[in-house]
């Protein structure tokens, strides 16, 4: 071996010996007595011997630590070598996960039940609600009325009937500008509970459900309260849905109440629909319980209505009933004096002079609402040549003008054709917008003046909506003669109705020809089709029931 290489090898051994020496504890650096001649090699051998001994002690100490760890954390499994080497243990429930370079000794802060994932991709376990609801809408819907993560609570409803509702500010702020200002505006609400005494709990929950899930569940009993909540918190889509619901459920019994609410909520389309029902079915609307629930201002507006299709005697009785209900609301006895007091000037909107004398004498004159002087002057107005001045409007209401849909292009008669024999003439019809069918126009006798007994009927899907048994007289002409239902009947769009008539009288009559399947009248399109109830020959092309009399 060359001399240079030997020197390098020798120096390398010396450096390794010095390195071991520096790493030894101070107590082991002291000189020891060794056998043999003093020299560097024995010293190196001693150092190496001590180094090997120290390494064995370290290994033994490490084994003891591993045994202790296995006793402390038995769930970690039997693979203790992986813990010792500083690698991550396989993910198992209840295991302690160690990152590279960690030791059991410095993991005391980590409990066995805590899961740690060094890759920072910890996910919810299978079966969690997030995993089972894949869409954002579904997950948001689960948060509706849920205490989970709720950061605000509402106390909704009046004192004594309130309900505590949890909610999430972000969801509410996204759905309503009012809630956005309430929670994130300059004057943001800091209280953990917010009191809302003027909204019904059921309506507030409907509002929140829409904001969380876009679902709208409306009911007749809560739709008005829901509309109020939607208007208050400026949720236009829900308000529109409420108005549509009210329009479809609108009828005489609730028209006056909805009129009052539509004015309050400033919904002109709903107001117009209410007036259509009230005008056409005025007597039914005025006799309904809902009429007694309206406010005084709405009462005055209705009494000023020129197109009310009602007798004034019915109007007067409805006003008296409203006054009794108002006395009860104010905690007053429903005496004649108190009724007059709560009515105030509204009483003088009733057109009493337009009643017949008989109607006045049997009704208004005996209700004690009028003073003796007013009653005397009204009787004189009816009977005296020189009529006194009255504080009541004199002209009768104009009411609504009925419209007639004629479905035949011509009429005819023959001496041996079309006889009334007590059989049923029937036809089906549908309209493209809501109308109110008031009666039918019928043909009369083709052999001169005659009187008929008649039964008319209106049905939908077999259910009778209205019927009337009455009489009419024909003068022998080919014209039609109206026969009325007791009250106009509300007919909805896009549904077929059946009208039927049975006549008893002179057998020979006029009949229609060249019938039309579709007729436009007064902005309304009527469609006609044959009815299986017809047993006397009436159909679309010819027969009886030439006219439908209606209001629109």
pLDDT for 65: 53
* C-beta separation of 259 from 297 below 8 A: no
Cα-based distances in Å from 265 to 176, 218, 261, 391:
18, 18, 6, 34
* C-beta separation of 411 from 478 below 8 A: yes
Domains delineated in the chain: 131-249 (3.30.710.10), 267-383 (1.25.40), 403-551 (2.60.120.820)
Q: Which residues of 342-357 are buried (b: 16+ CB within 10 A; e: fewer)?
A: bbeebbebbbbbbbee
Calculated CA dihedral for residues 435, 439, 440, 444, nearest 10 degrees: -160
| Burial class (CB within 10 angstroms; exposed 0-12, middle 13-18, buried 19+) of 327 | middle
Give phi and psi for 394, each to the nearest 5. Answer: -95, -35
Q: Give the pLDDT means over successive 10-residue stretches in the chain (552 positions).
A: 47 52 46 41 40 52 56 42 36 36 36 33 51 79 88 92 93 93 85 91 95 91 93 94 92 93 90 95 95 96 96 96 96 95 96 96 93 95 94 94 94 73 92 95 88 94 94 90 95 95 86 94 95 93 94 92
pLDDT for 100: 35
- What does the pLDDT look like over 169-182, one tens digit per residue? 999 999 999 999 99
pTM (two decimals): 0.70
Cα-based distances in Å from 371 to 131, 321, 324, 368, 378:
77, 18, 18, 7, 11
* Cα 128 to Cα 228: distance, rounded to the nearest angstrom: 38
| Burial class (CB within 10 angstroms; exposed 0-12, middle 13-18, buried 19+) of 391 | exposed
* Cα 21 to Cα 29: distance, rounded to the nearest angstrom: 7
Indicate the SS3 state at residue 263.
helix
Strand partners, 480: 443
Indicate the SS3 state at residue 189.
coil
Q: Kindly report the length of the chain.
A: 552
């Amino acid at each position: 071996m060359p001399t240079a290489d030997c020197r390098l090898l020798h120096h390398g051994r010396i450096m390794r010996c010095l390195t071991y020496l520096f790493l030894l504890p101070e107590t082991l650096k002291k000189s020891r007595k060794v056998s043999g001649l003093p020299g560097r090699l024995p010293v190196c051998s001693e150092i190496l011997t001590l180094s090997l001994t120290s390494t064995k002690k370290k290994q033994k100490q490490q084994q003891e630590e591993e045994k202790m760890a296995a006793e402390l954390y038995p769930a970690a499994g039997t693979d203790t070598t992986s813990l010792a080497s500083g690698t991550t243990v396989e993910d198992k429930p209840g295991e302690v996960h160690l990152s590279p370079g960690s030791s059991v000794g410095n993991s005391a802060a980590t409990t066995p039940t805590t899961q740690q994932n060094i890759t920072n991709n910890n996910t919810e376990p299978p079966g969690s609600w997030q995993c089972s609801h894949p869409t954002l809408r579904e997950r948001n819907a689960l948060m509706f009325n849920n205490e989970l993560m709720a950061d605000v609570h509402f106390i909704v409803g009046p004192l004594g009937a309130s309900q505590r509702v949890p909610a999430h500010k972000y969801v509410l702020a996204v759905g309503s500008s009012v809630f956005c200002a309430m929670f994130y505006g300059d004057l943001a609400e800091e209280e953990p509970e917010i009191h809302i005494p003027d909204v019904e709990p059921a309506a507030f929950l409907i509002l929140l459900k829409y904001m969380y899930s876009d679902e709208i569940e409306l009911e007749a009993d809560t739709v008005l309260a829901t509309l109020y909540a939607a208007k208050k918190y400026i949720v236009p889509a829900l308000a529109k849905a409420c108005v549509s619901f009210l329009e479809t459920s609108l009828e005489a019994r609730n028209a006056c109440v909805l009129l009052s609410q539509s004015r309050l909520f400033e919904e002109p389309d709903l107001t117009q629909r209410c007036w259509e029902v009230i005008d056409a079915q005025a007597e039914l609307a005025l006799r309904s319980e809902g009429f007694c629930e309206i406010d005084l201002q709405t009462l005055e507006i209705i009494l000023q209505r020129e197109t009310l299709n009602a007798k004034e005697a019915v109007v007067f009785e409805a006003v008296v009933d409203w006054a009794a209900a108002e006395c009860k609301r104010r905690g007053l006895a429903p005496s004649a004096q108190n009724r007059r007091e709560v009515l105030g000037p509204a009483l003088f909107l009733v057109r009493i002079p337009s009643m017949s004398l008989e109607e006045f004498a049997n009704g208004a004159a005996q209700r004690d609402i009028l003073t003796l002087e007013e009653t005397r002057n009204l009787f004189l107005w009816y009977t005296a040549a020189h009529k006194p001045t009255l504080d009541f409007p004199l002209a009768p209401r104009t009411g609504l003008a009925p419209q007639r849909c004629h479905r035949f292009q011509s009429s005819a008669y023959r001496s041996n054709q079309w006889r009334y024999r007590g059989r049923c003439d029937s036809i089906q019809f549908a309209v493209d917008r809501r109308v109110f069918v008031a009666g039918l126009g019928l043909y009369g006798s083709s052999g001169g003046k005659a009187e008929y007994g008649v039964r008319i009927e209106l049905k939908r899907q077999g259910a009778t909506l209205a019927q009337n048994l009455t009489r009419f007289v024909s003068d022998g002409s080919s014209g039609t003669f109206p026969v009325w239902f007791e009250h106009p009947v509300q007919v909805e769009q896009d549904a077929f109705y059946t009208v039927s008539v049975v006549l008893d009288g002179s057998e020979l009559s006029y009949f229609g020809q060249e019938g039309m399947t579709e007729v436009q009248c007064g902005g309304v399109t009527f469609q006609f089709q044959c009815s299986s109830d017809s047993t006397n020959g009436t159909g679309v092309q010819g027969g009886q029931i030439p006219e439908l009399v209606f209001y629109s």
